[in-house]
Chains A and B, each alone.
Chain A
Amino acid sequence: MQGLLAQGISVRYGARSVLAGLDLPLLRPGEVTVLAGPNAAGKSTLLRAIAQLQPHGGKVLLDGRDLAHVPMRDRARLVGFMPQSLPAGSSLVALESVIAALRAGDTLGARGADATAMAVLDKLGIGALALEPLSALSGGQRQMVSLAQAIVRDPRLLLLDEPTSALDLARQVRLLSELRRLAAEGRIVVAVLHDLALAAQWADRIVLMHGGHTHAEGRPELVLTPALLAEVYGVEARVERCSRGRIMVLIDGEHAPG
């Protein structure tokens, strides 16, 4: 069975249950899936659970293999993870940090690693930053380097936690079209996005999370409806259809209950 299947995912922080037996539909290769939902809905936790960075109950199957039982080194080849932010204090240069993404887990030996890492930076349009220390980069630039670290091992599954949060418009488009391209090559891409307009434009599927559950999921125009947005976010929203079948989400204000 090709694709990513997450079933019965549950995570507790102490006594507080963050995810309570959450199921995701089968996410197929070639698809970009966006996890959306209000703060504390459990989006980042779900992403970290799928990446096996967070102890959890339930099963995560990638192409039928239980990721919890895949040895770490092999898992690093299969899964790329982009965290919300990189630590700002490191004096490692950008290129070094991407080489570390290849060599720390012995994914690639000394020979090819340097050139492979450099090629990824070039592809993302940040080749000029290769020799800059991470501490000298802006938040957005660091985010692009972090993306390079996530994709340099050429993973089958790509997990991204708010990858556009610090990016300007041009870089947002660059990153999202890169994600589309990576998906088109047969990868599974899952990203947490807060910006519903971006989600509507770039996602094949949106999973709308609320209170640790999947509230709704499906194609953007099925999920981004005024009724669902009022339920989950408590906002008054209009959804307009525009050219080329796209939809646009306009927020009018807080939802007045009743």
Chain B
Amino acid sequence: MSDATLSRYHRQGRRNSALVGVLALAALAALLLDLMTGPAGLALADTLKALAGGEVARGTSVIVWDVRLPVAAMALLVGAALALAGAEMQTVLENPLAEPFTLGVSASAALGAAVAIVLGLSLPGLPAVWSVSGNAFLFALGALGLLQLLGRIRGGGPEVLILFGVALNFTAAALLSLVQFVASADALQQLVFWTMGSLASAQWPGVMLIAVVLAGSVPFSFRAAWKLTALRLGEDQARSFGVDVTGLRRWTLFRVSLLSAAAVSMVGVIGFVGLAGPHIARMLVGENHRVFLPASLLTGALVMSLASTLSKTLVPGVLLPVGLVTSLIGLPIFFALILRGRRR
């Protein structure tokens, strides 16, 4: 009897791993679709050939490598980073609504961008093209650093962190309004466009930066998977299992800070992915973080990549800000999933 149950458990585990594999393939397919879509539609064969460095028209090669791939790769990586950050945040803050937005990371990044765009202040020595992203990164990281500091002074419980995060969110939003108030019409338009979240300005160096941050933090996330799983059973339980919950929380929030600051600084404010990616993943594979974390990451990548394609095709000839697309298209899907989940 117990052997049968165990092998059923292992079968479920294999099924979940297979689901993660399917998500990975779907994300890759979405990436290809994203590459094929645009003002000049490309055939799948040509796209693949261009990617492989094969014999294609010179125009096709330029479109794939220089125009579309940075944008498509950025979409994939930003989606992955935001969803992984959201998943880990929801667990360590023991709150299903936690994501980079809730803690004021996005608002702070927007404030940083505003300071660069409107006031022209940025880090000395940074090339002009990087001034907006650099500022946004710095402000987002600063916000999470401040949050950790405040949390540590006050004992660092999850409720305290969330309350401080919400306060930080409103503070950053108020300061942002102040900067907008003094901004010129030109700068204001630029800023509004930035806060809507856009992939249009994606460049290879930015893609590389996110790739490096993601590659650097994913191994640590996955290594903490059982610890994070234990935290779902409550803080006392995790501690009695031998998990240093305070340390786990601190390091996870550090990783999450880097991930979300990098993502938000590159593409602006992208809603929904950090919140819904983990929720969709949870409905698919459950809460064992060994599959939940990779599933969240891949769901985020998939959703964001599809959103990138949609942002080009929804209104022909117009590139919509991708942040709008994720929110508008994503939310109905999310509602449907929640309602379906409730009925079961």
Contacts and interface: CB of A to CB of B under 8 A. Distances in A.
The secondary-structure label for the interface of chain B is helix
B186 to A, nearest CB: 49
A122 interface: yes
A115 interface: yes
B8 interface: yes
A72 interface: yes
A104 B229 contact: yes
Interface in B232-263: 232-234, 236-244
Interface stretch (B102-110, B145-153, B280-288, B308-316): B280-288
B240 A51 contact: yes
B85 to A, nearest CB: 21
B170 interface: no
Contact of A86 (B8, B233, B244, B288): B233
Q: Classify chain A: how many residues form its interface, as a range.
A: 35 or more
Contact of A118 (B2, B229, B234): B2
B240 A127 contact: no
B241 to A, nearest CB: 4
Contacts of A48: 236
Interface string A143-171: 00010011001000000000000000000
B10 interface: yes
B229 A101 contact: no
B244 A72 contact: yes
Interface in B211-249: 226-227, 229-230, 232-234, 236-244
Given A93-B286, A101-B230, A53 B240 contact: yes
A79 B240 contact: yes
Interface residues of B, number: 28
A119 interface: yes
A91 B9 contact: no
Nearest to A121: B2
Given A90-B287, A92-B232, A104-B226, A81 B240 contact: yes
A131 B9 contact: yes
A75 interface: yes
Contacts of B5: 95, 118, 127-128, 130-131
A204 interface: no
A219 interface: no
A174 B255 CA distance: 45
B45 interface: no
B190 interface: no
Given A86-B234, A114-B6, A101 B241 contact: yes
A77 B8 CA distance: 28
B291 to A, nearest CB: 10
A127 B1 contact: yes
A72 B233 contact: no
Contacts of A24: none
Given A87-B233, A97-B233, A101-B241, 6 more contacts: A75-B242, A86-B234, A101-B237, A118-B2, A122-B1, A131-B9
Interface of B: 1-2, 5-6, 8-10, 12, 226-227, 229-230, 232-234, 236-244, 282, 286-288
Interface of A: 48, 51-53, 72-73, 75-77, 79-81, 83, 86-87, 90-93, 95-97, 100-107, 114-115, 118-119, 121-122, 127-128, 130-131, 133, 146, 149-150, 153
